[in-house]
Copies of this chain bind each other. A is one copy, B any other.
Amino acid sequence: MERLRIRILGLRGDAILVTHLPNIAYLCGFTGSSGVLLVGPDTATLFTDGRYAIQAPEEVAGTRVRVRIAKRGLLSEAGAALRASRGRQRVLFPPSKISVGQFQQLRAAAGARVLWSSDKNAVEELRAVKDARELEEMRQAARLISEVFDDLTGLVQAGIAENEIAAEAEYRMRRKGAAGPSFESIVAAGPRSALPHARPTARPIGKNELVVLDLGAILRGYCSDMTRTVFVGRAPRKVRGWYHAVLEAQLAAIDALAAGVKAGDVDAAARRALRRHGLARAFTHSTGHGLGLEVHEIPRLARGDQAQLAAGNVVTIEPGVYIEGVGGIRIEDDVAIGERGIEILTRATKEFLEL
């Protein structure tokens, strides 16, 4: 909260409106599904609804945040609170985390003495730099998903359905203490593995098929996100070649990671390796993304991205190749960037497993 207040001052603002729930959880600990946080120079008010009348005060205890149970819309009440305070005010708001409709409601309630100033990613930029406690939580979330993968290798075989594997994966996450998966688990076999974001189906895994397992868990609020690709049977030489090309790209991108490096340069390192194998065009997405309270955060490791990486960032590194009708291969780790080097948080083997 103090780092946020320094930002408000730096931007000559009098207050900031926080609407995105993970940002609210980050700032004051509230984990409900309905909330708006208004942070001023020395006060902060959380607006939520009656369902959280008991939970909200418990969760924000110790943060000097007041809780107001809104009877009308949260944004109307936040706007009315601004109107009630004296004088002209310049209030920062997040343009990508407030809808056109909500903003209209807010402006109407706040009145003409509030000057709205758009500030993208105010809280997201704070969140992108993890402190030691957060890093420890993320280590554990990553260890958990690595263990789940180790357990699953014994289960993946011809005849078992994609969605059975997904069920087993999520059950194991839960049993190890996770609140649940951090995104819809991906288990995609055979030609379906060529769809980077395939949903698991009842289709049984066949013999001699690639299987992409892209899994993540939420542990005490923090996400992990890991992909491994295995083969059921003995892989043909060509598939083996693709696997090693992806692994080479993944290691090249990890090698490129460091505080001060541009995000786009990490992406370029992965693409360069795949180009050497004639697979550049089969890599249809970005190399990675930030990870934390959400499974997709800044920075984005995308083509040409000029953002500079910083110590404290935790990112995924996940190049892949996708051959329509045949199959796909993706390898993904979660990596923390430190002052003096990196730390790979996900620990499952990257050897090409033929099960």
Seen from chain A, the residues whose Cβ lies within 8 Å of a Cβ on chain B are 31-33, 49-55, 93, 95-104, 118, 120, 163-164, 166-167, 170-171, 174-175, 177, 179-181, 184-185, 194-200, 202, 284-285, 322, 324
Contact = CB atoms under 8 A, between A and B. Distances in A.
A23 to B, nearest CB: 14
A24 to B, nearest CB: 15
B194 A177 contact: no
B51 A284 contact: yes
B167 A199 contact: no
A204 to B, nearest CB: 14
A184 B32 CA distance: 11
A46 B100 CA distance: 22
A53 B100 contact: no
A53 B97 CA distance: 27
Given A53-B284, A180-B170, A324-B54, A97 B96 contact: no
- Of A50, A194, A198, A202, most B-chain CB atoms within 10 Å: A50
B99 A104 contact: no
Contacts of A54: 194-195, 322, 324
A54 B101 CA distance: 34
Given A52-B197, A95-B101, 5 more contacts: A51-B285, A54-B195, A100-B118, A164-B175, A180-B185
Given A33-B197, A284-B51, A285-B50, A99 B99 contact: yes
A202 to B, nearest CB: 7
A282 to B, nearest CB: 11
A100 to B, nearest CB: 4
Nearest to A33: B197
Contacts of A196: 51-52
Contacts of A200: 179
A99 B101 contact: no
A50 B284 contact: yes
A174 B172 CA distance: 13
Minimum-distance CB pairs A-B, first 8:
A167-B174, A95-B101, A96-B101, A50-B284, A171-B171, A95-B100, A51-B196, A55-B195
A69 to B, nearest CB: 9
B96 A118 contact: no
A100 B198 CA distance: 30
Contacts of A104: 95
A284 to B, nearest CB: 4
B101 A120 contact: yes
Contacts of A180: 170, 181, 184-185
